[in-house]
Structure formats: structure tokens, C-alpha cells
Amino acid sequence: MPAKLSVNLNAVAMLRNRRDLPWPSVTGLGRIALAAGAHGLTVHPRPDQRHIRFADLPELRALIDDEFPGREFNIEGYPTDAFLDLVEAHQPEQVTLVPDDPSQATSDHGWDFNKQGAFLEPIVARLKKKGFRVSLFADPEPGQVAAAGALAADRIELYTGPYGGCHDESEKAAIELEKLGKTADAAAAVGLGVNAGHDLTVANLPPLVRRIPALAEVSIGHGLTADALEHGMAETVRRFLKACAG
């Protein structure tokens, strides 16, 4: 089964937030993405609301519930008490925990599970008790996976930034791809599902899904939004869905 596509709406929200105006509509473009076949929507509500605003969350939750039942809402973020309260209020199908400092422009590294496991364990347990699927942002480091598996999360999300950064260097891309593949292999060995995200494109996604055939989901925002400026959101989603099939 091809990897599912979750459209990350942060870049759309960032464009909207340049003006005190309601366009482009985050919910409206989410609707177009879902109608074109996207399997879900991803948001990262940072404390300063510089991308997704807290007010977007109930609208997106209602969009999925009312118009696209069966699709998924994925909320990602650093697990402060305020973030966990947002999650519990808006009931996403999946929660992706990332080790972002609030001042970071974007997610750029995974958890150090060997050092941060004690911090994550009760948070994962709280979210699991509420019925959420839990994914943990992870660097492509196979040696970290056993510690991640001990936390009772459902999945890891592979940070694919270094792979995406090799867009014009095929030899380096192959090296980074193999790191991702070996980490996915290690995750499967301990019973963790695998998601992936960051700087994925229609060009580099097919090699990734061929190397990780059990890849469950990709969350894509920047590259997808950039392509949507050229092709439109609906056609861009269709292009990425094709890429997800390898």
C-alpha cells in the first residue's frame, strides 16, 4: 500500500499571516487538498502562532469531521502543557511530538531518545491513554531506535531534511537515503511504524518509498506549497500521491 499523504498547512498559514486578511484560506486550501485525495492534514501550532493559529484548529477539525470523515488530522509540536491541552481539545487522529525550541524557524532535528526518554515516556502514556496515535520525530540514526521503541509510541517520523537538502547531489542523497532506510529497518524490528517528513518533493519521494516500502505516511508542507503556486493545490496533491506510489 502506498504511503499516505498528509498535507502540512503551515506554509499556507505563514503566507496568510503576512497580512491582516483571511486569505489564502487555510481551511479552504485544506478542503481542496482533501478533495484531491490527500489522506490528512498536518499543522504545527507554535506558541507564537506565526504559522497556524490556534483559531485554525477547530475549523480544520470540523472540516474533516463534516466533509471528509475517515481522513486524519495530525497535530505536531513540542509537548508543553499548553500544547497537550490543545491536542486534547481538538482530538487529532495522530500527535507528532517534535523537540523544537519555540524560536526555531522549523523542525530541524529529532529527539535524543537515549537522553530524553524519561521526559517523553509519561507524555506518550498520557496521549495513548486518550486514544491518540503517537509519532516521535527521529533523526536517521538506527542506534536511537531501540530507546524510541521502549517508549510505547506507535511510530517514529523520520526527519528527512538532510536527504532533501541533497537535491542536486545524487551521491550524497544516496548516502542519506540509506541512513533513513536503515533507521526504518530498525524501527520495524522493534514494532514501530514509520512516517517521514521534511523537504520531500515529487522527485525525491519515489526513491524514499522504494527503499522503505512499509512507509506509513509522509507529511509535506514546504515543497508541496511551492509546487501549488505553479500547479494549483489539487493538481499538486495528485502529483504527490503519484510520487507516494513510488
Task: Considering the candidates 39, 44, 51, 90, report the single residue annotated as catalytic.
Answer: 44
Amino acid code (one letter) for 174: A
- Is 222 known to be catalytic? no
Task: Considering the candidates 39, 51, 90, 198, report the single residue annotated as catalytic.
Answer: 198
Whether the ω angle into residue 207 lies within 30 degrees of 0, i.e. cis, is no
* Span between the terminal Cα atoms of the chain, in Å: 10
In the chain, beta strands by DSSP E = 4-8, 40-43, 72-77, 94-97, 133-138, 155-159, 193-197, 217-220
Task: Considering the candidates 39, 51, 76, 176, report the single residue annotated as catalytic.
Answer: 76
- Is 76 known to be catalytic? yes
Q: Is 91 exposed, middle or buried (0-12, 13-18, 19+ CB in 10 A)?
A: middle
- Is 198 known to be catalytic? yes
Cell match 509537548: residue?
79
Active site positions, annotated: 44, 76, 198
